[in-house]
Structure 1
Amino acid sequence: QVKGAILDAVDDGLLQMNPTRKVTIKGKEPREKKIKFLSVEELKRLVGTLECKNEINWDWFIVFVAKTGLRFAEALAVTPADFDLNNQTLSINKTWEYKKSNPKFQPTKNSSSVRKIKLDWQMIGQFCPLIANLPQDELIFVEKEKNGKYKRVFNSTVNKFLERKCIEADVPIITVHALRHTHASILLLEGVTMHSIADRLGHANVTTTQETYT
Protein backbone atom coordinates (compact mmCIF):
# COMPACT_ATOMS: atom_id res chain seq x y z
CA GLN A 1 0.00 0.00 0.00
CA VAL A 2 2.85 2.39 0.81
CA LYS A 3 4.60 1.51 -2.44
CA GLY A 4 1.41 2.17 -4.42
CA ALA A 5 0.93 5.57 -2.75
CA ILE A 6 4.54 6.63 -3.53
CA LEU A 7 4.28 5.52 -7.17
CA ASP A 8 1.03 7.51 -7.51
CA ALA A 9 2.76 10.55 -6.00
CA VAL A 10 5.58 10.25 -8.56
CA ASP A 11 3.06 9.86 -11.42
CA ASP A 12 1.13 12.92 -10.22
CA GLY A 13 4.25 15.04 -9.98
CA LEU A 14 4.06 15.42 -6.21
CA LEU A 15 7.45 13.68 -5.95
CA GLN A 16 10.23 14.11 -8.49
CA MET A 17 11.56 10.60 -7.91
CA ASN A 18 10.81 7.46 -5.95
CA PRO A 19 12.69 7.80 -2.63
CA THR A 20 12.44 4.06 -2.00
CA ARG A 21 13.93 2.97 -5.34
CA LYS A 22 17.00 1.29 -3.82
CA VAL A 23 15.38 0.12 -0.62
CA THR A 24 15.72 -3.61 0.06
CA ILE A 25 12.88 -5.15 2.06
CA LYS A 26 14.15 -8.02 4.14
CA GLY A 27 12.02 -10.81 5.52
CA LYS A 28 11.51 -14.52 5.75
CA GLU A 29 9.54 -16.72 3.43
CA PRO A 30 6.18 -17.59 5.05
CA ARG A 31 6.12 -21.02 6.64
CA GLU A 32 4.17 -23.71 4.94
CA LYS A 33 0.86 -24.06 6.78
CA LYS A 34 0.49 -27.29 8.71
CA ILE A 35 -2.37 -29.65 7.97
CA LYS A 36 -4.86 -29.27 10.83
CA PHE A 37 -7.06 -32.32 10.30
CA LEU A 38 -7.40 -35.60 8.43
CA SER A 39 -10.24 -36.77 6.24
CA VAL A 40 -12.31 -39.78 7.26
CA GLU A 41 -10.37 -42.09 4.94
CA GLU A 42 -7.02 -40.75 6.10
CA LEU A 43 -7.98 -41.27 9.74
CA LYS A 44 -9.00 -44.86 8.96
CA ARG A 45 -5.59 -45.47 7.36
CA LEU A 46 -3.82 -43.95 10.37
CA VAL A 47 -5.78 -46.08 12.84
CA GLY A 48 -4.99 -49.12 10.70
CA THR A 49 -1.26 -48.68 11.42
CA LEU A 50 -1.68 -48.46 15.21
CA GLU A 51 -0.60 -51.37 17.38
CA CYS A 52 -3.33 -51.41 20.02
CA LYS A 53 -2.31 -54.29 22.25
CA ASN A 54 -3.62 -55.69 25.53
CA GLU A 55 -2.10 -52.88 27.57
CA ILE A 56 -2.20 -49.10 27.32
CA ASN A 57 0.34 -47.49 24.99
CA TRP A 58 0.60 -44.36 22.82
CA ASP A 59 -1.26 -46.14 20.03
CA TRP A 60 -4.29 -46.33 22.33
CA PHE A 61 -3.77 -42.67 23.23
CA ILE A 62 -4.04 -41.69 19.55
CA VAL A 63 -7.27 -43.66 19.18
CA PHE A 64 -8.62 -42.16 22.41
CA VAL A 65 -8.02 -38.53 21.37
CA ALA A 66 -9.33 -39.14 17.84
CA LYS A 67 -12.58 -40.62 19.24
CA THR A 68 -13.14 -38.11 22.06
CA GLY A 69 -11.70 -34.83 20.77
CA LEU A 70 -10.04 -34.15 24.12
CA ARG A 71 -7.23 -31.65 24.55
CA PHE A 72 -3.79 -33.17 25.18
CA ALA A 73 -3.72 -32.25 28.89
CA GLU A 74 -7.33 -33.44 29.34
CA ALA A 75 -6.57 -36.84 27.80
CA LEU A 76 -3.47 -37.33 29.97
CA ALA A 77 -5.54 -36.62 33.10
CA VAL A 78 -8.12 -39.36 32.47
CA THR A 79 -8.40 -42.04 35.17
CA PRO A 80 -10.55 -45.22 35.29
CA ALA A 81 -12.93 -43.42 37.66
CA ASP A 82 -13.83 -41.00 34.84
CA PHE A 83 -15.44 -43.80 32.82
CA ASP A 84 -19.10 -44.62 33.36
CA LEU A 85 -19.23 -47.88 31.44
CA ASN A 86 -22.92 -48.51 32.09
CA ASN A 87 -24.02 -45.14 30.70
CA GLN A 88 -21.24 -45.01 28.10
CA THR A 89 -19.95 -41.62 29.21
CA LEU A 90 -16.62 -40.06 30.09
CA SER A 91 -16.25 -37.24 32.63
CA ILE A 92 -13.74 -34.49 31.85
CA ASN A 93 -13.13 -32.52 35.04
CA LYS A 94 -9.37 -31.95 35.26
CA THR A 95 -6.15 -31.65 33.28
CA TRP A 96 -2.61 -32.94 33.80
CA GLU A 97 0.06 -30.26 34.28
CA TYR A 98 2.57 -32.10 32.08
CA LYS A 99 4.78 -29.06 31.37
CA LYS A 100 6.05 -28.85 34.96
CA SER A 101 8.90 -30.96 36.35
CA ASN A 102 6.60 -32.09 39.13
CA PRO A 103 3.32 -32.62 37.24
CA LYS A 104 -0.03 -32.80 39.01
CA PHE A 105 -3.75 -32.45 38.40
CA GLN A 106 -4.97 -28.99 37.46
CA PRO A 107 -8.44 -27.50 36.81
CA THR A 108 -9.79 -27.53 33.26
CA LYS A 109 -9.18 -24.65 30.86
CA ASN A 110 -12.50 -23.02 31.83
CA SER A 111 -15.81 -23.93 33.46
CA SER A 112 -17.24 -25.00 30.08
CA SER A 113 -14.47 -27.58 29.80
CA VAL A 114 -15.99 -29.57 32.67
CA ARG A 115 -18.30 -31.90 30.81
CA LYS A 116 -19.53 -35.44 30.14
CA ILE A 117 -19.28 -36.88 26.67
CA LYS A 118 -20.82 -39.98 25.15
CA LEU A 119 -18.61 -42.85 24.07
CA ASP A 120 -19.53 -45.32 21.36
CA TRP A 121 -20.08 -48.98 22.23
CA GLN A 122 -16.91 -50.05 20.43
CA MET A 123 -14.72 -47.79 22.54
CA ILE A 124 -16.42 -48.96 25.73
CA GLY A 125 -15.73 -52.56 24.71
CA GLN A 126 -12.08 -51.77 23.96
CA PHE A 127 -11.28 -49.82 27.12
CA CYS A 128 -13.26 -51.92 29.61
CA PRO A 129 -10.65 -54.73 29.80
CA LEU A 130 -7.75 -52.27 29.56
CA ILE A 131 -8.70 -50.37 32.71
CA ALA A 132 -10.39 -53.19 34.64
CA ASN A 133 -7.44 -53.86 36.97
CA LEU A 134 -6.11 -50.30 37.24
CA PRO A 135 -6.50 -48.20 40.41
CA GLN A 136 -9.52 -45.92 40.00
CA ASP A 137 -7.70 -42.67 40.72
CA GLU A 138 -4.48 -43.27 38.78
CA LEU A 139 -3.64 -41.96 35.32
CA ILE A 140 -4.27 -44.34 32.46
CA PHE A 141 -1.79 -43.03 29.90
CA VAL A 142 1.10 -41.83 32.12
CA GLU A 143 3.55 -44.39 33.54
CA LYS A 144 5.03 -44.25 37.02
CA GLU A 145 8.68 -44.28 38.04
CA LYS A 146 9.99 -46.87 40.53
CA ASN A 147 9.73 -44.21 43.25
CA GLY A 148 5.99 -43.94 42.65
CA LYS A 149 6.11 -40.58 40.87
CA TYR A 150 4.63 -40.16 37.41
CA LYS A 151 7.05 -39.94 34.50
CA ARG A 152 7.15 -36.67 32.60
CA VAL A 153 5.32 -36.65 29.29
CA PHE A 154 6.30 -34.26 26.52
CA ASN A 155 3.89 -33.12 23.84
CA SER A 156 6.76 -33.20 21.34
CA THR A 157 7.45 -36.88 22.11
CA VAL A 158 3.87 -37.91 21.37
CA ASN A 159 3.81 -35.71 18.26
CA LYS A 160 6.97 -37.44 17.02
CA PHE A 161 5.34 -40.81 17.61
CA LEU A 162 2.25 -39.66 15.68
CA GLU A 163 4.45 -38.31 12.88
CA ARG A 164 6.01 -41.76 12.39
CA LYS A 165 2.55 -43.34 12.26
CA CYS A 166 1.34 -40.75 9.71
CA ILE A 167 4.33 -41.50 7.49
CA GLU A 168 3.66 -45.23 7.82
CA ALA A 169 -0.01 -44.70 6.90
CA ASP A 170 0.92 -42.36 4.03
CA VAL A 171 -1.30 -39.54 5.32
CA PRO A 172 -0.47 -35.85 5.98
CA ILE A 173 1.65 -35.37 9.09
CA ILE A 174 -0.46 -33.89 11.87
CA THR A 175 -0.12 -33.15 15.59
CA VAL A 176 -2.08 -34.62 18.48
CA HIS A 177 -4.11 -31.39 18.65
CA ALA A 178 -5.03 -31.90 15.00
CA LEU A 179 -6.75 -35.13 16.06
CA ARG A 180 -9.13 -32.91 18.05
CA HIS A 181 -9.78 -30.89 14.89
CA THR A 182 -10.28 -34.13 12.97
CA HIS A 183 -12.81 -35.34 15.54
CA ALA A 184 -14.84 -32.13 15.29
CA SER A 185 -14.64 -32.01 11.50
CA ILE A 186 -16.00 -35.55 11.18
CA LEU A 187 -18.88 -34.72 13.53
CA LEU A 188 -19.66 -31.67 11.41
CA LEU A 189 -19.54 -33.80 8.28
CA GLU A 190 -21.98 -36.26 9.87
CA GLY A 191 -24.51 -33.48 10.51
CA VAL A 192 -23.98 -32.96 14.26
CA THR A 193 -25.07 -29.46 15.27
CA MET A 194 -22.51 -26.77 16.04
CA HIS A 195 -23.88 -26.39 19.58
CA SER A 196 -23.45 -30.12 20.27
CA ILE A 197 -19.88 -30.04 18.94
CA ALA A 198 -19.08 -26.97 21.08
CA ASP A 199 -20.39 -28.77 24.18
CA ARG A 200 -18.41 -31.91 23.38
CA LEU A 201 -15.17 -29.97 22.81
CA GLY A 202 -15.66 -27.87 25.94
CA HIS A 203 -15.70 -24.53 24.14
CA ALA A 204 -16.87 -21.57 26.22
CA ASN A 205 -19.18 -20.44 23.41
CA VAL A 206 -20.31 -21.68 20.04
CA THR A 207 -18.61 -18.76 18.27
CA THR A 208 -15.21 -20.35 18.91
CA THR A 209 -16.41 -23.56 17.29
CA GLN A 210 -17.89 -21.75 14.29
CA GLU A 211 -14.77 -19.66 13.67
CA THR A 212 -12.57 -22.75 13.80
CA TYR A 213 -14.61 -25.25 11.81
CA THR A 214 -16.95 -23.54 9.37
Structure 2
Amino acid sequence: MSVYKDATRNSWYVKIRYTDYYGKKKQTTKRGFKTKREASEWEAAEKLKRNFSLDMPFSKFYEIYEADLRHRIKQTTWENKNIIITTKILPYFGERKMTEITPKDVRHWQKKMIEYTDEDGKSYSQAYLATLHAQLSAIFNHAVKFYDLKNNPAKVAGGMGSKKGGNMMFWTQDEYKKFINCVMDKPLSFYGFEILYWCGLRIGELLALTPKDFNFEKKTLSITKNYQVVKGEKMILTPKTSKSVRTIYMPDFLSEEIEEMIESMYEIDGDDRLFPLSKRYFQHEMDRGCELSGVKRIRIHDLRHSHVSLLINTGFSALEIAERMGHESERITYHYAHLFPSKQVDMVKKLNQIKGELDDVR
Protein backbone atom coordinates (compact mmCIF):
# COMPACT_ATOMS: atom_id res chain seq x y z
CA MET A 1 0.00 0.00 0.00
CA SER A 2 1.34 3.45 -0.88
CA VAL A 3 -1.52 5.65 0.40
CA TYR A 4 -1.01 6.95 3.94
CA LYS A 5 -2.77 9.11 6.51
CA ASP A 6 -1.01 12.28 7.65
CA ALA A 7 -2.36 12.63 11.17
CA THR A 8 -0.61 15.93 11.77
CA ARG A 9 -2.23 17.64 8.79
CA ASN A 10 -5.40 15.51 8.89
CA SER A 11 -4.99 14.62 5.22
CA TRP A 12 -3.76 11.78 3.01
CA TYR A 13 -0.62 11.40 0.92
CA VAL A 14 0.79 9.02 -1.69
CA LYS A 15 4.28 7.57 -2.13
CA ILE A 16 5.13 6.10 -5.52
CA ARG A 17 8.30 4.25 -6.43
CA TYR A 18 9.09 4.03 -10.12
CA THR A 19 11.82 3.58 -12.71
CA ASP A 20 12.44 6.64 -14.87
CA TYR A 21 13.25 6.87 -18.59
CA TYR A 22 16.94 6.28 -17.90
CA GLY A 23 16.36 3.16 -15.78
CA LYS A 24 16.97 4.89 -12.44
CA LYS A 25 14.74 3.98 -9.50
CA LYS A 26 13.05 7.01 -7.97
CA GLN A 27 10.36 7.93 -5.48
CA THR A 28 7.86 10.78 -5.42
CA THR A 29 5.39 11.93 -2.78
CA LYS A 30 2.13 13.80 -3.30
CA ARG A 31 0.42 15.34 -0.25
CA GLY A 32 -2.73 17.20 0.61
CA PHE A 33 -5.55 14.83 -0.35
CA LYS A 34 -8.71 15.35 1.69
CA THR A 35 -9.81 11.73 1.47
CA LYS A 36 -8.21 8.32 1.01
CA ARG A 37 -10.30 7.84 -2.14
CA GLU A 38 -8.88 11.00 -3.75
CA ALA A 39 -5.36 9.84 -2.92
CA SER A 40 -5.99 6.38 -4.39
CA GLU A 41 -7.49 7.80 -7.59
CA TRP A 42 -4.48 10.08 -8.05
CA GLU A 43 -2.12 7.16 -7.43
CA ALA A 44 -3.84 4.99 -10.06
CA ALA A 45 -3.74 7.75 -12.66
CA GLU A 46 -0.13 8.62 -11.85
CA LYS A 47 0.96 5.00 -12.27
CA LEU A 48 -0.70 4.89 -15.69
CA LYS A 49 1.12 8.07 -16.65
CA ARG A 50 4.52 6.79 -15.50
CA ASN A 51 3.93 3.52 -17.34
CA PHE A 52 2.84 5.51 -20.42
CA SER A 53 -0.47 3.64 -20.53
CA LEU A 54 -3.02 5.51 -22.62
CA ASP A 55 -5.74 4.33 -20.25
CA MET A 56 -4.64 7.39 -18.29
CA PRO A 57 -6.91 10.49 -18.12
CA PHE A 58 -6.39 13.23 -20.70
CA SER A 59 -5.17 15.53 -17.92
CA LYS A 60 -2.36 13.11 -17.08
CA PHE A 61 -1.30 12.82 -20.70
CA TYR A 62 -1.21 16.60 -20.84
CA GLU A 63 1.47 16.47 -18.14
CA ILE A 64 3.50 14.18 -20.41
CA TYR A 65 2.85 16.47 -23.38
CA GLU A 66 4.05 19.45 -21.35
CA ALA A 67 7.22 17.67 -20.23
CA ASP A 68 7.98 16.61 -23.81
CA LEU A 69 7.26 19.94 -25.47
CA ARG A 70 7.86 22.80 -23.08
CA HIS A 71 11.65 22.85 -23.41
CA ARG A 72 11.45 22.73 -27.20
CA ILE A 73 9.52 25.95 -27.82
CA LYS A 74 9.73 29.57 -26.69
CA GLN A 75 8.39 30.29 -23.23
CA THR A 76 5.84 32.79 -24.51
CA THR A 77 4.59 30.28 -27.09
CA TRP A 78 4.15 27.68 -24.39
CA GLU A 79 2.29 30.06 -22.09
CA ASN A 80 -0.18 30.86 -24.88
CA LYS A 81 -0.72 27.15 -25.54
CA ASN A 82 -1.11 26.45 -21.84
CA ILE A 83 -3.83 29.08 -21.42
CA ILE A 84 -5.85 27.55 -24.25
CA ILE A 85 -5.45 24.00 -22.97
CA THR A 86 -6.20 24.69 -19.30
CA THR A 87 -9.20 26.96 -19.93
CA LYS A 88 -10.82 25.51 -23.07
CA ILE A 89 -9.75 21.86 -23.36
CA LEU A 90 -8.97 20.34 -19.95
CA PRO A 91 -12.33 21.31 -18.41
CA TYR A 92 -14.05 19.15 -21.04
CA PHE A 93 -11.63 16.27 -21.65
CA GLY A 94 -9.52 16.27 -18.47
CA GLU A 95 -11.02 13.24 -16.72
CA ARG A 96 -11.72 11.21 -19.87
CA LYS A 97 -9.36 8.35 -20.68
CA MET A 98 -7.22 8.98 -23.74
CA THR A 99 -8.28 5.68 -25.31
CA GLU A 100 -11.98 6.42 -24.81
CA ILE A 101 -12.20 9.88 -26.41
CA THR A 102 -13.99 9.54 -29.74
CA PRO A 103 -14.58 11.82 -32.74
CA LYS A 104 -18.14 12.17 -31.45
CA ASP A 105 -16.79 13.58 -28.16
CA VAL A 106 -14.69 16.07 -30.10
CA ARG A 107 -17.73 17.15 -32.13
CA HIS A 108 -19.65 17.77 -28.90
CA TRP A 109 -16.78 19.90 -27.61
CA GLN A 110 -16.67 21.83 -30.90
CA LYS A 111 -20.39 22.53 -30.57
CA LYS A 112 -19.86 24.04 -27.12
CA MET A 113 -17.01 26.22 -28.39
CA ILE A 114 -18.96 27.38 -31.45
CA GLU A 115 -22.07 28.21 -29.41
CA TYR A 116 -20.18 29.97 -26.60
CA THR A 117 -20.97 33.65 -25.97
CA ASP A 118 -19.65 35.94 -23.25
CA GLU A 119 -21.61 38.37 -21.08
CA ASP A 120 -21.81 40.81 -23.99
CA GLY A 121 -23.10 38.15 -26.36
CA LYS A 122 -19.79 37.96 -28.23
CA SER A 123 -18.73 34.57 -29.59
CA TYR A 124 -15.28 33.23 -30.47
CA SER A 125 -13.87 34.34 -33.82
CA GLN A 126 -13.43 31.87 -36.65
CA ALA A 127 -9.65 32.18 -36.31
CA TYR A 128 -9.78 31.49 -32.57
CA LEU A 129 -12.01 28.44 -33.08
CA ALA A 130 -9.49 27.11 -35.59
CA THR A 131 -6.70 27.70 -33.06
CA LEU A 132 -8.59 25.79 -30.34
CA HIS A 133 -9.11 22.79 -32.60
CA ALA A 134 -5.51 22.86 -33.81
CA GLN A 135 -4.25 22.71 -30.23
CA LEU A 136 -6.49 19.77 -29.31
CA SER A 137 -5.43 17.94 -32.46
CA ALA A 138 -1.74 18.63 -31.67
CA ILE A 139 -2.06 16.84 -28.32
CA PHE A 140 -3.64 13.77 -29.92
CA ASN A 141 -1.06 13.84 -32.74
CA HIS A 142 1.64 13.72 -30.06
CA ALA A 143 0.00 10.65 -28.54
CA VAL A 144 -0.28 8.97 -31.95
CA LYS A 145 3.30 9.73 -32.96
CA PHE A 146 5.13 8.91 -29.73
CA TYR A 147 2.82 6.87 -27.49
CA ASP A 148 1.01 4.52 -29.89
CA LEU A 149 -2.48 5.99 -29.75
CA LYS A 150 -4.31 4.30 -32.63
CA ASN A 151 -5.78 7.44 -34.19
CA ASN A 152 -6.38 11.14 -33.67
CA PRO A 153 -10.10 11.64 -32.90
CA ALA A 154 -9.78 15.40 -33.51
CA LYS A 155 -8.53 14.76 -37.04
CA VAL A 156 -11.38 12.32 -37.73
CA ALA A 157 -13.91 14.80 -36.33
CA GLY A 158 -12.75 17.52 -38.71
CA GLY A 159 -11.82 21.10 -37.95
CA MET A 160 -13.83 24.13 -36.93
CA GLY A 161 -13.45 27.82 -37.66
CA SER A 162 -11.15 29.21 -40.31
CA LYS A 163 -7.62 30.60 -40.40
CA LYS A 164 -8.07 32.32 -43.74
CA GLY A 165 -7.34 35.83 -42.54
CA GLY A 166 -10.90 36.79 -41.71
CA ASN A 167 -9.68 38.94 -38.81
CA MET A 168 -6.83 40.58 -40.73
CA MET A 169 -7.32 44.34 -41.10
CA PHE A 170 -5.15 47.20 -42.28
CA TRP A 171 -5.07 50.96 -42.72
CA THR A 172 -4.63 52.78 -45.99
CA GLN A 173 -2.02 55.55 -46.10
CA ASP A 174 -4.79 58.14 -45.77
CA GLU A 175 -6.18 56.43 -42.67
CA TYR A 176 -2.75 56.19 -41.09
CA LYS A 177 -2.09 59.89 -41.79
CA LYS A 178 -5.33 60.87 -40.04
CA PHE A 179 -4.48 58.64 -37.07
CA ILE A 180 -0.85 59.67 -36.58
CA ASN A 181 -1.75 63.37 -36.61
CA CYS A 182 -3.92 62.72 -33.55
CA VAL A 183 -1.19 61.16 -31.39
CA MET A 184 1.60 63.63 -32.14
CA ASP A 185 1.05 65.25 -28.73
CA LYS A 186 2.81 62.28 -27.09
CA PRO A 187 6.31 61.80 -28.58
CA LEU A 188 6.78 58.16 -27.53
CA SER A 189 3.38 57.28 -28.99
CA PHE A 190 4.13 59.13 -32.22
CA TYR A 191 7.58 57.63 -32.77
CA GLY A 192 6.45 54.15 -31.72
CA PHE A 193 3.59 54.10 -34.21
CA GLU A 194 5.86 55.53 -36.90
CA ILE A 195 8.24 52.58 -36.52
CA LEU A 196 5.39 50.05 -36.39
CA TYR A 197 3.78 51.40 -39.57
CA TRP A 198 6.83 52.25 -41.69
CA CYS A 199 8.97 49.26 -40.66
CA GLY A 200 6.36 46.57 -39.95
CA LEU A 201 7.74 45.53 -36.57
CA ARG A 202 5.90 43.34 -34.10
CA ILE A 203 4.98 45.16 -30.88
CA GLY A 204 7.38 42.99 -28.84
CA GLU A 205 10.20 43.88 -31.23
CA LEU A 206 9.41 47.59 -30.88
CA LEU A 207 9.33 47.46 -27.08
CA ALA A 208 12.75 45.75 -26.99
CA LEU A 209 14.53 48.37 -29.14
CA THR A 210 17.57 50.20 -27.74
CA PRO A 211 19.60 53.09 -29.21
CA LYS A 212 22.32 50.59 -30.18
CA ASP A 213 19.90 48.92 -32.59
CA PHE A 214 19.97 51.97 -34.89
CA ASN A 215 22.67 52.88 -37.38
CA PHE A 216 21.77 56.36 -38.57
CA GLU A 217 24.72 56.58 -40.94
CA LYS A 218 23.44 53.56 -42.87
CA LYS A 219 19.81 54.27 -41.90
CA THR A 220 19.30 50.72 -40.69
CA LEU A 221 17.48 49.12 -37.80
CA SER A 222 18.54 45.75 -36.34
CA ILE A 223 15.86 43.53 -34.82
CA THR A 224 17.51 41.06 -32.43
CA LYS A 225 15.26 41.03 -29.36
CA ASN A 226 11.66 40.60 -28.28
CA TYR A 227 10.08 42.14 -25.16
CA GLN A 228 7.43 40.04 -23.40
CA VAL A 229 5.73 39.89 -20.04
CA VAL A 230 5.49 36.27 -18.88
CA LYS A 231 3.50 35.62 -15.71
CA GLY A 232 4.03 39.23 -14.64
CA GLU A 233 7.79 39.16 -15.26
CA LYS A 234 9.25 41.55 -17.85
CA MET A 235 11.63 39.66 -20.12
CA ILE A 236 13.87 40.35 -23.11
CA LEU A 237 13.80 37.22 -25.26
CA THR A 238 14.95 36.17 -28.69
CA PRO A 239 12.65 37.11 -31.59
CA LYS A 240 9.75 34.89 -32.64
CA THR A 241 11.76 32.82 -35.14
CA SER A 242 15.31 32.68 -36.47
CA LYS A 243 14.21 34.61 -39.58
CA SER A 244 12.88 37.36 -37.30
CA VAL A 245 16.47 38.36 -36.54
CA ARG A 246 17.06 40.85 -39.33
CA THR A 247 18.41 44.26 -40.29
CA ILE A 248 16.11 46.51 -42.29
CA TYR A 249 16.50 49.90 -43.93
CA MET A 250 14.45 52.83 -42.67
CA PRO A 251 12.97 55.56 -44.85
CA ASP A 252 15.09 58.72 -44.69
CA PHE A 253 12.46 60.74 -42.84
CA LEU A 254 12.00 58.03 -40.20
CA SER A 255 15.74 57.71 -39.62
CA GLU A 256 15.89 61.46 -39.03
CA GLU A 257 12.88 61.37 -36.70
CA ILE A 258 14.29 58.61 -34.49
CA GLU A 259 17.76 60.17 -34.40
CA GLU A 260 16.24 63.44 -33.20
CA MET A 261 14.17 61.55 -30.64
CA ILE A 262 17.22 59.78 -29.15
CA GLU A 263 19.25 63.00 -29.10
CA SER A 264 16.46 64.69 -27.14
CA MET A 265 16.43 61.99 -24.44
CA TYR A 266 18.29 62.92 -21.28
CA GLU A 267 21.29 60.63 -20.56
CA ILE A 268 19.80 57.56 -22.23
CA ASP A 269 22.20 54.62 -22.35
CA GLY A 270 22.79 52.63 -25.51
CA ASP A 271 21.31 49.50 -23.89
CA ASP A 272 18.26 51.21 -22.40
CA ARG A 273 14.86 50.39 -23.86
CA LEU A 274 13.87 53.19 -26.18
CA PHE A 275 10.18 52.63 -25.42
CA PRO A 276 9.97 51.70 -21.70
CA LEU A 277 6.24 51.18 -22.09
CA SER A 278 3.82 48.26 -22.42
CA LYS A 279 1.63 46.77 -25.11
CA ARG A 280 -1.36 47.98 -23.11
CA TYR A 281 -0.07 51.55 -23.37
CA PHE A 282 -0.02 51.36 -27.16
CA GLN A 283 -3.45 49.72 -27.18
CA HIS A 284 -4.79 52.65 -25.18
CA GLU A 285 -3.09 55.11 -27.52
CA MET A 286 -4.55 53.24 -30.50
CA ASP A 287 -8.03 53.67 -29.00
CA ARG A 288 -7.41 57.36 -28.36
CA GLY A 289 -6.06 58.07 -31.83
CA CYS A 290 -8.90 56.19 -33.53
CA GLU A 291 -11.52 58.05 -31.52
CA LEU A 292 -9.99 61.45 -32.31
CA SER A 293 -9.37 60.72 -36.01
CA GLY A 294 -12.51 58.74 -36.76
CA VAL A 295 -10.62 55.93 -38.53
CA LYS A 296 -11.65 52.33 -37.94
CA ARG A 297 -10.17 50.56 -34.93
CA ILE A 298 -7.56 47.95 -35.80
CA ARG A 299 -5.22 45.91 -33.61
CA ILE A 300 -1.62 46.94 -33.04
CA HIS A 301 -0.52 43.87 -35.01
CA ASP A 302 -2.61 45.13 -37.93
CA LEU A 303 -0.08 47.94 -38.37
CA ARG A 304 2.26 45.15 -39.49
CA HIS A 305 -0.41 44.05 -41.96
CA SER A 306 -0.71 47.68 -43.07
CA HIS A 307 3.01 47.76 -43.82
CA VAL A 308 2.73 44.59 -45.91
CA SER A 309 -0.26 46.13 -47.71
CA LEU A 310 1.80 49.21 -48.47
CA LEU A 311 4.70 47.17 -49.83
CA ILE A 312 2.52 44.93 -51.99
CA ASN A 313 0.69 47.88 -53.50
CA THR A 314 4.06 49.51 -54.18
CA GLY A 315 4.97 46.48 -56.28
CA PHE A 316 7.48 44.53 -54.21
CA SER A 317 7.59 40.74 -54.52
CA ALA A 318 6.58 38.27 -51.82
CA LEU A 319 10.22 37.21 -51.42
CA GLU A 320 11.39 40.80 -50.87
CA ILE A 321 8.60 41.48 -48.39
CA ALA A 322 9.20 38.21 -46.50
CA GLU A 323 12.85 39.18 -45.94
CA ARG A 324 11.92 42.59 -44.56
CA MET A 325 9.13 41.27 -42.33
CA GLY A 326 11.11 38.33 -40.97
CA HIS A 327 8.63 35.75 -42.31
CA GLU A 328 9.82 32.15 -42.18
CA SER A 329 8.99 31.78 -45.88
CA GLU A 330 7.37 33.77 -48.66
CA ARG A 331 4.32 31.49 -48.36
CA ILE A 332 3.40 33.43 -45.21
CA THR A 333 3.46 36.64 -47.21
CA TYR A 334 0.97 35.16 -49.67
CA HIS A 335 -1.54 34.92 -46.81
CA TYR A 336 -2.01 38.68 -47.24
CA ALA A 337 -3.17 38.40 -50.84
CA HIS A 338 -6.86 38.54 -49.93
CA LEU A 339 -6.37 42.08 -48.59
CA PHE A 340 -5.90 43.46 -52.08
CA PRO A 341 -8.96 42.93 -54.32
CA SER A 342 -7.76 45.79 -56.53
CA LYS A 343 -5.10 43.41 -57.85
CA GLN A 344 -7.86 41.36 -59.44
CA VAL A 345 -8.99 44.45 -61.34
CA ASP A 346 -5.43 45.09 -62.50
CA MET A 347 -5.16 41.47 -63.68
CA VAL A 348 -8.37 41.71 -65.70
CA LYS A 349 -7.18 44.95 -67.29
CA LYS A 350 -3.95 43.27 -68.30
CA LEU A 351 -5.81 40.23 -69.70
CA ASN A 352 -8.08 42.53 -71.70
CA GLN A 353 -4.99 44.28 -73.05
CA ILE A 354 -3.43 40.98 -74.09
CA LYS A 355 -6.68 39.87 -75.78
CA GLY A 356 -6.84 43.17 -77.67
CA GLU A 357 -3.28 42.75 -78.91
CA LEU A 358 -4.08 39.22 -80.10
CA ASP A 359 -7.13 40.50 -82.00
CA ASP A 360 -5.00 43.19 -83.71
CA VAL A 361 -2.57 40.52 -84.92
CA ARG A 362 -5.42 38.59 -86.54
- Into which bin does the TM-score normalised by the smaller protein fall? 0.7 to 0.9
Query: For residues 99 and 174 of structure 1, do their structure 2 counterparts lie closer, same or farther at Cα, with a shift above 3 Å needed?
Result: farther
Question: Cα RMSD (Å) of the superposition?
Answer: 2.3
Q: Distance in 2 between matches of 1:193 and 1:43?
A: 23
Report 1:94-105 matches (<5 A).
94-105=225-236
Q: Distance in 2 between matches of 1:103 and 1:201?
A: 24
Verify: 1:75 aligned to 2:206, yes or no: yes
Deviations 1:111-167 (A, max 9, x none): 100000000110111111211352101100015xxxxxxxxx2x3442122022012
Provide the secondary structure at the position in 1 that maps to 2:247. strand
Provide the secondary structure at the position in 1 that maps to 2:229. coil
Q: CA deviation at 1:83?
A: 0.2
**Correspondence for 1:37 among 143, 161, 170:** 170
Runs of 4+ in 1 over 3 A off after TM superposition: 26-35
Q: Which residue of 2 aligns with 1:207?
A: 331
Q: CA deviation at 1:48?
A: 1.7
Q: CA deviation at 1:176?
A: 0.9
Report 1:59-208 matches (<5 A).
59-132=190-263, 133-142=267-276, 153=278, 155-208=279-332
Q: Distance in 2 between matches of 1:127 and 1:100?
A: 32
- Alpha carbons 1:80, 1:140 under 8 Å: kept: yes
TM-score, scaled relative to structure 2:
0.46
Q: Distance in 1 between matches of 2:200 and 2:296?
A: 19
Q: Which residue of 1 aligns with 2:135?
A: none
Determine which structure has the larger helix proportion and give its number.
2
Provide the secondary structure at the position in 1 that maps to 2:301. helix
TM-score, scaled relative to structure 1:
0.75
Q: Which amino acid is 1:38 matched to?
A: W
Identity %: 27
Who wins on radius of gyration, i.e. which is larger? 2
Q: Which amino acid is 1:163 matched to?
A: D
Deviations 1:9-45 (A, max 9, x none): xxxxxxxxxxxxxxxxx93676786561011211111
Query: For residues 52 and 120 of structure 1, do their structure 2 counterparts lie closer, same or farther at Cα, with a shift above 3 Å needed?
Result: farther
Deviations 1:30-87 (A, max 9, x none): 678656101121111112212156xx42232112211110001011001000001000
Ranges in structure 1 where 5+ consecutive residues have no aligned partner: 1-25, 144-152
Q: Which amino acid is 1:169 matched to?
A: S
Ranges in structure 2 where 5+ consecutive residues have no aligned partner: 1-113, 126-165, 339-362
Q: Which residue of 1 aligns with 2:188?
A: 57
- Alpha carbons 2:241, 2:328 under 8 Å: kept: yes
- Alpha carbons 2:209, 2:223 under 8 Å: kept: yes
Provide the secondary structure at the position in 1 that maps to 2:275. coil
Provide the secondary structure at the position in 1 that maps to 2:240. coil
